[in-house]
Structure 1
């Protein structure tokens, strides 16, 4: 029995190592390609190591350093603010739905579940946000559409509250005179760090990678997030490379390392989240350990 357990453990470790290597390989190729000469990529293709090291792609991006830094600032703001508010709204609704004495509890839960199956469609959604909420070309256009809660996250957190928060603990808090808000903030939240960290991390990634809301609601370049800014730069490069705008412009466009720039754009877009993820993971593991001890 002991031998079979060790074999299972080694097989599991080997499988996870293969998955980890498979996840790292594309990142290495991405970084290597962004540091390669354009001619080398066209001749040799993508490789793990740059045969002809070049910083031309990043030098090209540095010509728009001011716009990129501003876009980074906007993205950091909407990611932090949007994640915190979205997490708070999700936790409030999930806790209410987890209480068995909530009037019409099943009806409210059905409304949340219904949003997982159907939505109003792009055109009605656009009209509501632009004509009713009037958020077009405002910073709220990058926050509000993702802020109105994710039904899956609500149901996931509700299930955690029901299955992992002991009912006697809540009842004892009520017997001591604690109201719903005091119970929620003093008892429920400290025991819910694992699910809060998990959903918070998911929301952070969603906000950071979101470019669709900026595409349809933002036309002012000063409000572009980093994803929209990089997407606009990539579109401009493709336009210059494929258009005939005169000899001088064509010559300048031919000198742009288009393939390497695309890779550099991807590196700039994902680098901050890759740097921040290990810190989030540390707090995620800490929250899981703390929740298991308190539970």
Structure 2
């Protein structure tokens, strides 16, 4: 055991007491702290450097990339990839507006619905909590398949070619409902709910004014994952939206990349364009990077909003208090 005091002899020969700080049981040494910081700096660089490379390549010349490969120091800077994508900029603006609407509305609705489902099944005094918990858990393991899933939304709900078809399929996730239920059950004290009921507060007021403000970490975590799911989704536009309909930004970028690959890989298509006098200058490598920058650009700012609660909410349920 470390001694809290030790005797020191000064230049004049006098002795005195010098206090020595006692190390806490879980405190790490300075060397360990330095090594941990170095590790996370390296890990952060591994995550950030590829993103920087994508941005640099998107502003590089297509021929330089084809001849010399990807480089942090391109021989020639060029914005032809962005000019190619922005020729029909109104289409990109429309797709970005669709993605923004679907992401914002879908995330808010999904948080409200999943929280309202998870809170009752987290209460021990709810008589049907086991049935509804099993009902949600069952959907996590089994589903009806692609064809019934498609027919429900198109033939029964008639949501084809609407914006709601991009929201409804991702509205509720059984996994996130279980996470919310775990947080409500292990973090919210039952005595707090009982005291509010004694004071005459109805259940809805308890949920809105007490439960939700205390659940910001888990709501922010689930909200972040839902935001990423809605923003990055392109499959729903592919399945449910017709070619003349309003698609989201991710599917528009996906379709553009397929068109570029088809034209560059098809000699017949290139010959037909040349016969019509169309200038053939289709960037392939740089346009991929430009599409990635356009696609991930807005969503990067979401992390700064959720970062305050993300770590705390991500580990919910790991240790029961």
TM-score between the two structures when normalised by the length of structure 1: 0.91
Q: For residue 280 of structure 1, report the CA deviation from its aligned partner.
A: 3.2
Distance 2:138 2:35 in 1: 41
The aligned length equals 288
Check conservation: 1:137, 1:220, Cα contact below 8 A: no
Which deviations, in whole Å up to 9, do the C-alpha atoms of 1:65-90 show, x marking residues without a partner? 00000111111001000000000001
Q: What is residue 239 of structure 1 aligned with on the other side?
A: 262
- In terms of fraction of residues, the more helix-rich structure is 1
Q: What is residue 78 of structure 2 aligned with on the other side?
A: 54
**Highest CA radius of gyration, 1 or 2?**
2
**1:13 to 2:40 alignment:** no
- Aligned match of 2:91 in 46, 56, 67? 67
Q: What is residue 178 of structure 1 aligned with on the other side?
A: 201
Q: What is residue 155 of structure 1 aligned with on the other side?
A: 178
**1:144 to 2:168 alignment:** yes
TM-score between the two structures when normalised by the length of structure 2: 0.84
Gaps of 5+ in 1: 289-294
Distance 1:275 1:109 in 2: 35
- Any runs of at least 4 consecutive aligned residues in structure 1 with deviations exceeding 3 A, and if so which? 1-4, 250-254, 282-288
Check conservation: 1:241, 1:254, Cα contact below 8 A: no
Which deviations, in whole Å up to 9, do the C-alpha atoms of 1:212-265 show, x marking residues without a partner? 111101114441100111111111111111121253615857411111111111
Q: What is residue 294 of structure 2 aligned with on the other side?
A: 268
- Aligned match of 2:285 in 259, 270, 286? 259
Gaps of 5+ in 2: 1-22, 315-320
Q: Aligned with 1:54: secondary structure?
A: coil
Q: Greater CA deviation, 22-31 or 252-261?
A: 252-261
Q: What is residue 291 of structure 1 aligned with on the other side?
A: none
Q: Greater CA deviation, 44-53 or 59-68?
A: 44-53
Q: For residue 124 of structure 1, report the CA deviation from its aligned partner.
A: 1.4
Distance 1:239 1:89, change over 3 A: same
**1:200 to 2:226 alignment:** no
Distance 2:312 2:186 in 1: 20
Q: Greater CA deviation, 248-257 or 70-79?
A: 248-257
Indicate the structure whose relative CO is greater, using CA pairs within 8 Å and at least 6 residues apart.
1
Distance 1:98 1:137 in 2: 37
